[in-house]
């Protein structure tokens, strides 16, 4: 378990599942550079270099230990129209929701609207 | 139907309390994720791609109206208004929040349901023929056996940490509608040719997944009274000798395969001979008590064929078609077993909304002695319907988009959730099912093709039973895109067989074409009245491979 897996190619974002709600959350940058989770994949912080990636990894570890999230890992992305899109289709599904139900999941704004209002 | 006694009730309630406590301890940090994960899995809570998933056991696929209505309520209050019926005859909710699970488990306990042993390396929910108790070809109702095994295996201290999960299926009929040969243990009730006593044929080591195998018969005629001792002997041999070093070789099918069937039988029989049978086998009184719960309802004395039904059919061809396709002959004259299709064209196979669940629950209460069944093919059954009520039922189902007349036909596709939900998936399966359904949506065309089972899995775990589909589809990843491998000639029946791969994997958009070409070969080559599967058996794979290659070339 302790062996760190090889890091994905950069740029990358950090995603996880919220421990209590189970939905997918993304590490994003708050004011003063602090990291926090967002439901909105559009706000995910993109790590372009090793320093930024290490910062995300460290955040994953502390947040896991703090019982906030589970299954946190880095995902390599490409930037499409200014938005980070996971390169692999599996991770893309996590930023969208079930493809047969466009009315559900992130593609339908689940959790995102509320966050924007909040 | 089986009703909980005070032990069952207390057991389930205690489990709810324990899990509530475990969730609180996870949240306050006294349990780590590594400690908590096996606990949540023991209560059916998985983490999938977008959310948690809760798997609810439907013992041998039998439900009553109140239970289904409770599931509808849970779906509405704690999920997104729908649930997914699986090939294990269970129900899965796709969006529960961990914080709500204790409350959901409480609601399930209120209607004698739970999620125990729907995950983990234990004996899982026992499945059975969905026409149990009503099929004309039945020798004996398999549900008392299934219930006995459920009670024996629940929290069995010796078998709670097996090398791997363990699935048992039971049928009591000539036709195998429970895919027993693809289970770790398959039981078939049958009569001994000389004594005429009802016995079990016991098969071990069937299973799909990475290494698909058909179960091997280890006992031709096991006396019914010896069931638990014999199962215990099998489980002991497996528990001791099953491989714990390699997850992919840990199922009993690998042990049977590596040991050889004869040697495996020898070891089981040796263990069985040493066991103190009487101390393990169920008390005949208890067996009788359980069996009494499954006594058939009191049927009305009716003529074998309803004239009301005949008149309605004559006046309404669409209804007549539905009756022809979706009903199965019943033991009791004037009755029928009705299969409600959860495969309307374009919907996810096996999904039902809370509203639909309520309608089916109402129909079960009103027209089917408050009983319904979940099939491994992801449909629902009203097992005791008077023929003369079919028209009313059909109309009500039609309003709820549940009146598709496609049972056993090409659009009655089994599909696992695949990558639209499942964290283990390598490709999507639901959209493939939908595309094929659209391609073959025409009723006349489906009717012309006749019985054809397509089964789709989104990864090698084979929850969608693709190996035993007449046409099987397996979603894989190939160079960063979804790729679909097609197999032909699988059979889930009493003549169980594993399908053979037709050729290289296809892109998602080419799958419907490939299926169409395969079907066209059949239509061109079939003899009068010959089914798809019989045709494949007779003419062999080559003509189908040739047609398949054309799709491969066109795509290349
Ligand atoms: S077959 Fe694979 S993708 Fe489908 S439900 Fe099972 S584990 Fe998930």
DSSP B276-303: -HHHHSPPHHHHHHHHHHTPPP------
Q: Kindly report, residue by residue over B305-357, the tens digit of the pLDDT.
A: 999 999 999 999 999 999 999 999 999 999 999 999 999 999 999 999 999 99
Containing structural domain, residue B93: 6-110
pLDDT digits (tens, 9 = 90+) for A52-91: 999 999 999 999 999 999 999 999 999 999 999 999 999 9
CA-CA distance, B37 to B31, in Å (whole number)? 10
Banded model confidence at residue B449, pLDDT cuts 50, 70, 90: very high
Tokens standing for residue A16: 């996880």
Residue B177 lies in a domain: yes
CATH number at residue B468: 3.30.413.10
- Could you tell me if B242 and B385 lie in one domain? no
Q: What is the pLDDT of residue A5?
A: 59
Whether residue A118 is predicted with pLDDT greater than 90 in this model: the reply is no
Quick: pLDDT tens for B278-289: 888 999 999 999
User: Is ipTM strictly over 0.90?
Assistant: yes
Pair (B342, B439) in one structural domain: no
Are β-strands B185-191 and B91-93 bridged in parallel, bridged antiparallel, or unpaired?
Answer: unpaired
B167: which 2 tokens?
A: 């699935």
Alpha-carbon Rg of chain A, whole angstroms? 14
User: How many CB atoms are located within 10 Å of the residue B312 CB?
Assistant: 19
For residue B416, report the distance from its CA to the centre of ligand 1, in Å: 6
- Together in a domain, B439 and B524: yes
Q: What is the pLDDT of residues B196-250, one digit of tens each?
A: 999 999 999 999 999 999 999 999 999 999 999 999 999 999 999 999 999 999 9
- Measure the CA angle with vertex B349, ends B56 and B61; round to 5°: 35
Per cent of chain B over pLDDT 70 is 100
Contacts of residues B362-367 at CB distance under 8 Å and 24 or more positions apart, as own/partner, are B362/B65, B362/B396, B363/B393, B363/B396, B363/B397, B364/B63, B364/B64, B364/B65, B364/B68, B365/B64, B365/B65, B367/B392, B367/B393
User: What local confidence, expressed as pLDDT, does residue B1 receive?
Assistant: 81
- CA-to-CA distance for B548 and B545, rounded, in angstroms? 5
What is the pLDDT confidence band of residue B498, given thresholds at 50, 70 and 90? very high
| Rounded-to-integer distance, Cα B213 and Cα B219, Å | 18
Residues B286 and B311 in one domain: no
pLDDT beyond 90 at A33: no
End of a domain among B292, B323, B341? B292
* Residue B419 counted as domain residue: yes
Q: What is the reported pLDDT for A1?
A: 45
In a domain, B252, yes or no: yes
What integer best gives the mean pLDDT of chain B? 96
User: Is residue B390 domain-shared with residue B458, that is, in the same domain?
Assistant: no
Nearest CA in chain A to B99: A20
Contact criterion met (CB below 8 Å) for B265 and B217: no
B395 within domain boundaries: yes
CB pairs under 8 A between A and B: 70
Paired tokens of B486: 């097609």
Q: Do both B157 and B97 map to the same domain? A: no
Q: How many Å apart are CA B170 and CA B145, to the nearest integer?
A: 7
Phi, psi torsion values for B429, nearest 5 degrees: -120, -35
My answer on whether B68 and B213 are in the same domain is no
Residues B288 and B317 in one domain: no
Number of domains in chain B: 4
Residue B48 inside a domain? The answer is yes
The one-character DSSP state at B500 is E
Q: Which residues of A touch B80 (CB under 8 A)?
A: 104
| CB of B475 closer than 6 angstroms to any ligand 1 atom | no
The number of C-alpha atoms within 13 Å of B177 and in the hemisphere containing its C-beta is 29
Best of B457, B477, B482 for a ligand 1 pocket test (most atoms within 8 Å of beta carbon): B457
Tens of pLDDT, residues A80-108: 999 999 999 999 999 999 999 999 999 99
Question: Cis before residue A11, ω within 30 degrees of 0?
Answer: yes
Does residue B215 lie within any of the structural domains?
Answer: yes
Task: Tell me: do B359 and B317 sit in the same domain.
Answer: yes
Mean per-residue pLDDT for B379-402?
98
SS (H, E, C) chain A: CCCCCCCCCCCEEEEEEECCCCCEEEEEECHHHCEEEECCHHHCCCECCHHHHHHHHHHHHHHHHCCCEEEEEEEEEEEECCEEEECCHHHHHHHHCCCCCCCCCHHHCCCHHHHHHC
Are the Cβ atoms of B95 and A99 closer than 8 angstroms?
Answer: no
Collapsing DSSP to helix, strand or coil, B45 comes out as strand
Separation between Cα atoms, residue B16 and residue B225, nearest integer Å: 34
- What is the spatial distance between Cα B368 and Cα B366, in angstroms, rounded to a whole number? 6
Q: Identify whether residues B288 and B139 lie together within a single domain.
A: yes
Determine phi and psi for B91, rounding to 5 degrees: -120, 135
For B426, the 3-state DSSP assignment is: coil
Angstrom distance (rounded) from CA B110 to CA B13: 9
Q: Kindly tell me if the per-residue pLDDT of B408 is higher than 60.
A: yes
Pairwise CA distance, residues B112 & B92, whole Å: 17
Interface residue ranges in chain B relative to chain A, Cβ cutoff 8 Å: 26-29, 33, 47, 49-52, 80, 94-99, 348, 419-421, 425, 428, 430-431, 434, 480-482
CA dihedral defined by B20, B21, B26, B31, rounded to 10 degrees?
Answer: -140
CB B424 near ligand 1, within 6 Å: yes
Q: Is the pTM of this model over 0.90?
A: yes
Which CATH number does the domain housing residue B64 bear? 3.90.480.20
Distance CA B388, CA B84 (A): 31
Q: What confidence score (pLDDT) does residue A6 get?
A: 78
- One domain, residues B391 and B480: no
Residue B449 lies in a domain: yes
Q: Is B547 in the pocket of ligand 1 (CB under 6 A)?
A: no
Q: Which of B48, B413, B414, B417 to mutate to test the pocket of ligand 1 (most atoms within 8 A of CB)?
A: B417
Nearest-10 crossing angle of helices B261-274, B227-241 = 120
Residue B43 lies in a domain: yes
Domain boundary among B228, B259, B292: B292
Residue with tokens 């096991």: B222
- Beta strands across the sheet bearing B168-171: B127-128, B168-171, B185-191, B198-204, B216-223
Q: What is the pLDDT of residues B66-92, one digit of tens each?
A: 999 999 999 999 999 999 999 999 999
């Amino acid at each position: 378990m302790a062996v760190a897996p090889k890091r994905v190619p950069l740029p990358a974002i950090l995603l996880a599942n919220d421990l209590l709600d189970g939905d997918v959350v993304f590490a994003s940058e708050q004011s003063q550079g602090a990291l926090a989770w967002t439901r909105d994949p559009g706000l995910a912080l993109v790590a372009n270099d090793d320093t930024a990636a290490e910062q995300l990894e460290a955040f994953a570890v502390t947040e896991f230990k703090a019982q906030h999230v589970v299954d946190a890992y880095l995902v390599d992305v490409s930037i499409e129209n200014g938005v980070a899109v996971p390169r692999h289709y599996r991770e893309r599904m996590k930023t969208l929701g079930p493809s047969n139900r466009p009315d559900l999941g992130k593609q339908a704004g689940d959790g995102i609207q509320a966050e924007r209002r909040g | 139907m089986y009703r909980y006694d005070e032990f069952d009730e207390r057991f389930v309630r205690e489990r709810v309390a324990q899990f509530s406590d475990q969730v609180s301890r996870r949240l306050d940090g006294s349990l780590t994720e590594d400690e908590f994960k096996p606990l949540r899995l023991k209560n059916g809570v998985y983490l999938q791609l977008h959310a948690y998933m809760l798997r609810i056991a439907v013992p041998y696929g039998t439900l009553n109206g109140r239970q289904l209505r409770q599931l509808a309520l849970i779906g509405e209050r704690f999920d997104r208004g729908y649930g997914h019926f699986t090939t294990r005859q269970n129900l899965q909710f796709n969006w529960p929040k961990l914080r709500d699970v204790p409350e959901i488990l409480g609601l399930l306990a209120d209607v004698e349901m739970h999620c125990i042993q729907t995950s983990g390396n234990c004996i899982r929910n026992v499945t059975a023929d969905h026409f149990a108790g009503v099929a004309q070809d039945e020798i004996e109702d398999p549900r008392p056996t299934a219930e006995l095994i459920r009670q024996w295996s629940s929290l069995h201290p010796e078998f709670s940490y097996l090398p791997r999960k363990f699935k048992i299926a039971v049928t009591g009929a000539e036709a195998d509608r429970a895919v027993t040969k693809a289970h770790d243990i398959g039981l078939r009730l049958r009569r001994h040719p000389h004594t005429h006593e009802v016995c079990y044929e016991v098969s071990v080591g069937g299973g799909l997944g990475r290494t698909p195998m058909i179960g091997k018969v280890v006992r031709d005629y096991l006396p019914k009274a010896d069931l638990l001792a014999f199962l215990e002997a099998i489980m002991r041999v497996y528990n001791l000798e099953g491989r714990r070093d390699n997850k992919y070789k840990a199922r009993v099918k690998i042990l049977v395969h590596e040991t050889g069937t004869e040697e495996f039988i020898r070891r089981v029989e040796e263990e069985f001979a040493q066991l103190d049978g009487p101390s393990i086998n169920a008390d005949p009184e208890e067996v009788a008590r359980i069996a009494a719960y499954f006594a058939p309802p009191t049927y009305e004395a009716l003529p074998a064929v309803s004239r009301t039904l005949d008149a309605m059919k004559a006046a309404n061809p669409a209804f007549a078609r539905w009756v022809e396709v979706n009903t199965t002959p019943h033991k009791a004259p004037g009755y029928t077993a009705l299969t409600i299709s959860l495969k309307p064209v374009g919907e996810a196979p096996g999904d039902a909304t809370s509203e639909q669940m309520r309608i089916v629950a109402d129909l079960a209460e009103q027209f089917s002695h408050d009983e319904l069944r979940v099939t491994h093919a992801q449909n629902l059954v009203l097992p005791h319907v008077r023929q003369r009520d079919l028209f009313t039922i059909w109309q009500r189902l039609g309003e709820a988009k549940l009146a598709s007349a496609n049972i056993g036909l090409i659009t009655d596709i089994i599909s696992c959730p695949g990558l639209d939900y499942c964290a283990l998936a390598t490709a999507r399966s639901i959209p493939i099912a939908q595309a094929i359904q659209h391609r073959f949506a025409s009723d006349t065309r489906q009717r012309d093709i006749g019985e054809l089972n397509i089964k789709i899995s989104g990864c090698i775990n084979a929850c969608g039973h693709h190996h035993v589909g007449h046409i099987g589809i397996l979603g894989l990843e190939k160079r960063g895109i979804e790729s679909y491998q097609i197999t032909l000639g699988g059979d889930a029946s009493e003549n169980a067989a594993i399908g053979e791969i037709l050729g290289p994997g296809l892109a998602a958009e080419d799958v419907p074409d490939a299926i169409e070409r395969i079907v066209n070969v059949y239509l061109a080559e079939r003899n009068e009245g010959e089914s798809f599967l019989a045709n494949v058996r007779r003419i062999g794979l080559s003509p189908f491979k040739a047609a398949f290659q054309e799709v491969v070339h066109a795509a290349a």
